[in-house]
Structure 1
Amino acid sequence: MRAGDDEPSAADLVLTKTPPDDAGARTADQYEWQAVMATADGLRLYLDALDPGGNFNSSGTTRVVCEHHEDWVALRDEDAELVSAKHPGLPFGAYSTLNSLADDGGVAHLFNRWLTMGEKPTCRLVTTAGASDRAHKLVEIAVTARQRRLDGEPFLPDPEQEELLTGFGRALLKHCDGLPQRWTSPNGGPPESIPTADHRQQIIRFLSIFTFQDSVPRKYAPYAAPAMFAQPVLDRLGSTAPAGSVWEAVLAVFRARMRAAGPTPIGGLPPVLADPVGAASPTPAVFEADLASRIVTLTDIDLAIRTAIANPTGFAPLPRLMRTSRLAIKMEVGGCTDNTVERAEQLRADYTDFWRDPLAADPSARTRQQRLHRLLLRISDAATDRVKKPAGRWGADLWRQLEADLDQHQDTLPVDMDADLALGGLCELSNRCKVWFSDSFDIASEQARRRPAEGAGS
């Protein structure tokens, strides 16, 4: 049902309601993944505003509000969609319980915001985790309830679905702030009577506007995004500009808005005579002006795209350094940072220098070196057993574990060799394919793939 003239629309409520909390602290890579997913939404909204000939219709009021109520909100005219983006990581697997979906998946937070806004917005969870077991069954109920809503028909749950709705209601009571005070038992009945039939109907209404969206994992997003999200827009525009350049231009806008670093029309000027006696409550337009630094309009996206098409080299992503040593390739595949790889290469060089003179002048030096290599391989074998994961990358964990273990073996190392130099020995063994920072793979083929861009490596 559309909002009447005498009541605020979903879009107005998003702009005028003050969130009880603002964006919390997140790691830089989590922010980046959320910016990527918000950019994908922005490009979809922009594509919808293009006619079949690629002409942009700028007359609408479609925009994205970043980090307000949820990770972002998509607004179009009077409609609003609250979007929560969750990347729990590859080892997490799937949301399997109703509690994990409500808590880890952030659905309880979405439910709370939806209630605050009079059940008017739609809601979406964008996540890299799947859903299984009871959580998957609840997502299936959401699909069915949404179709019933679109068909104008009521959703009548069967006994198994009733039990799932009751379980989800109890999960919401645990993880939805303020809900226990709003959801009271009829006539002061016992708490176990919650959720009631009315509460379950409210949950059905929520599920009928809720969408569970699988998304691309963080480590693949930078590579997949241009082809998946920017290329369809370029195809509609009839442009042959590089998708990577257009993607980077639009992503840069969303990166800034996700950190509230967009334009501020009044700068840092203080409010003066803002609310005189007799003044009316601020309109949604006033609230929206205060949120300007967080808003991406379709005009912003159009300008970024046109600029990138006209000057594609100015937005091309920086080329990544292509290392070709066996050690560097293994560590990169294992998920080690650039700084860790650079340090490993230096330690390996220091280790080689340490043995150069003894090996040339002392016949017994090679025996001592082989004894040390056996010790290092034993340490590596034990450390790998401790950190290796069945899914996800574990190279960085192995590096830290090796550092810690070598500190414990300082007394067994050769004279004049410290733990860092012994770590360089492990790096040399890795370069000889005796130590891996991931499951083994065809290292020679990967070297051959990288060498045309960089030249021969060792």
Structure 2
Amino acid sequence: MSGQLELDLFRRPAEDTGAPTQGNYHYQTEIIASYCLSLHADPSIVKIICEWQEDFVIVRDKPPQLELVSVKHHDEMLYTTMKSLCDDGGLAHLFDRWLGYTSRPAVRLASNTRLGGRPGDYTPRGLLDVCRAGALDTPRGTALIAHLAWAMIDMAAKSTTLDNIPRPAAPVPPKARRHDPAGLPAGLFEMLLRFVRTCQFDCERPAKRDIRDVTIRQIVEPAAGTLGFAPPAAADVYKAVVDLVAQASRDDSGRPVDLAHYLTSPGGYDPRSQIAQTVQRRTVSREAVLEAIRLGTRRAVGDPVSLLRSGQAPPRAPGGHRLIDKMRDALMSNDEQDNALGLRDLWLHIWPQARTGFTEDIETQFRLEMEILDIVRRIRAQLIGTSDHYGIQFQALLHAELRRAELSKKISVPLDDFHILGYAYELSDLCKFGFSQPAGG
């Protein structure tokens, strides 16, 4: 990416007032996911950046390298006037952001709402017809752009968030005279004309209630062969990509990617570096989309579990000393200690390969830990009063109860019961429990 594009992209965005409803926020996530699922059809797309500058930014490896996309959803509305297009349709906000870019990116308005109004009048529908006909340089095109410009500066005059659109030096003329660009701030007409030339009005997207089914039917299923999954897996693939986008759209509380470096030398991060890390957290790369598709495919087919994905026994994992100390204290044999270490190696080897990379990994590990420790408590209660061979009995019951619990069926990550036994031994190494009889037991 060129230095100028980095300066544009890493500029901290202005604060937006208000917050979208949860339903509209999820709609935005699903719109972004639909673009992610179309990456195979547009090889120029390198990545998508969520919730930055606009609702999302598409980054390409050819000009125009950036595309700002605004997402709008309305339950019952048409953009019938230039004012409604600028305000409810968000076009003024999009233009204001575009003016802040020296690289002049492409722009897109993605909405379920159509451009309406009488086609022959100075309306959004009239503007759309002129754009599609390639007639922006005609007198009618000039009049339509002038109407749009006057609507924008009228809105900017009453707004505190549109910083780049100039305020009018004189009163905005009545609508009957807005077809004349004379009196507009210098250069505004030319800049708006350039903006409209590069704008895609993608304004008949499905509504909230339909977008999932339409995207699966029209985008995901037709791409099944190209992307390497069977059509019945389409719904799982779609959910995996939506989850990926939802995670990227969160700012993660401003936490730097390289947290260890940040904690040891926080002064080493200048503001631009922190912004660059925020952009990285909000970025969905082509590789991440393909991995999410593979995850969705595995979920759909139940991903047959293999103990050794590498085809050979895992290497001895570092650590394990506390686990061995606990087993020695319980007078357990060397071969049982070695078996426990082998199961722990299996867990530490498989988990980085099996986990999804999404926030659900935290939920998976937490659930497994809580389930294992709950089983440990039940075994301890069962063994109260036992004096002989406590450690051996504890270990035997731990294996039996974990196998009986079938914890691998309670999580979405494909694991075998032996992997979960390995995690139990890792928890022991982390001092969550031991094998000796508790004091007073």
Query: Same fold by TM-score, threshold 0.5 exceeded?
Result: yes
* 2:288 corresponds to which of 285, 292, 300: 300
Match of 2:53 in 1: 69
Instruction: Please state whether the residue corresponding to 2:229 is helix, strand or coil.
Output: coil
Match of 1:266 in 2: 258
Which residue identity is paired with 2:199? F
Instruction: Please state whether the residue corresponding to 1:195 is helix, strand or coil.
Output: coil
Query: Could you give the per-residue CA deviations for residues 437-458 of structure 1, whole angstroms, max 9, x where no partner exists?
Result: xxxxxxxxxxxxxxxxxxxxxx
Contact 1:128 1:216 in 2 (8 A): yes
Where does structure 1 lack aligned partners over 5 or more consecutive residues? Answer: 50-59, 149-154, 316-458
Instruction: Please state whether the residue corresponding to 1:206 is helix, strand or coil.
Output: helix
TM normalised by structure 1 equals 0.55
Detail structure 1 runs of 4+ shifted over 6 Å in the superposition: none
Instruction: Please state whether the residue corresponding to 1:126 is helix, strand or coil.
Output: strand
Confirm or deny that 1:207 pairs with 2:182.
no
Instruction: Please state whether the residue corresponding to 1:96 is helix, strand or coil.
Output: coil
Confirm or deny that 1:16 pairs with 2:1.
no
Confirm or deny that 1:252 pairs with 2:243.
yes
Match of 2:39 in 1: 45
Confirm or deny that 1:123 pairs with 2:107.
yes
For residues 232 and 14 of structure 1, the distance between their equivalents in structure 2, rounded to whole angstroms, comes to: 36
Match of 1:135 in 2: 124
Match of 1:88 in 2: 74
Match of 1:167 in 2: 147
For residues 32 and 313 of structure 1, the distance between their equivalents in structure 2, rounded to whole angstroms, comes to: 26
RMSD: 3.0
Contact 1:15 1:287 in 2 (8 A): no
For residues 275 and 310 of structure 1, the distance between their equivalents in structure 2, rounded to whole angstroms, comes to: 39
For residues 249 and 91 of structure 2, the distance between their equivalents in structure 1, rounded to whole angstroms, comes to: 21
For residues 178 and 113 of structure 1, the distance between their equivalents in structure 2, rounded to whole angstroms, comes to: 9
**Alignment length (residue pairs):** 278
For residues 7 and 198 of structure 2, the distance between their equivalents in structure 1, rounded to whole angstroms, comes to: 17
Sort the Cα spacing of 1:308 and 1:137 in 2 relative to 1 into closer, same or farther, 3 A.
same
For residues 46 and 22 of structure 1, the distance between their equivalents in structure 2, rounded to whole angstroms, comes to: 33
Match of 1:110 in 2: 94
Deviation at 1:135, TM superposition (A): 0.9
Query: Could you give the per-residue CA deviations for residues 146-202 of structure 1, whole angstroms, max 9, x where no partner exists?
Result: xx8xxxxxx5221x332222211111112341356x3666xxx87654326843222
For residues 162 and 242 of structure 1, the distance between their equivalents in structure 2, rounded to whole angstroms, comes to: 50
Matches within 5 A, 1:341-380: none
For residues 151 and 258 of structure 2, the distance between their equivalents in structure 1, rounded to whole angstroms, comes to: 44
Sort the Cα spacing of 1:104 and 1:190 in 2 relative to 1 into closer, same or farther, 3 A.
closer
Sort the Cα spacing of 1:24 and 1:119 in 2 relative to 1 into closer, same or farther, 3 A.
farther
Match of 2:399 in 1: none
Sort the Cα spacing of 1:42 and 1:238 in 2 relative to 1 into closer, same or farther, 3 A.
closer
Which residue identity is paired with 2:28? Q
Where does structure 2 lack aligned partners over 5 or more consecutive residues? Answer: 118-122, 157-161, 174-181, 304-441
Deviation at 1:254, TM superposition (A): 0.7
Confirm or deny that 1:33 pairs with 2:21.
no
Which residue identity is paired with 2:137? L
Deviation at 1:22, TM superposition (A): 4.8
TM normalised by structure 2 equals 0.57
For residues 310 and 20 of structure 1, the distance between their equivalents in structure 2, rounded to whole angstroms, comes to: 40
Which residue identity is paired with 1:203? L
Confirm or deny that 1:312 pairs with 2:306.
no
Sort the Cα spacing of 1:87 and 1:191 in 2 relative to 1 into closer, same or farther, 3 A.
closer
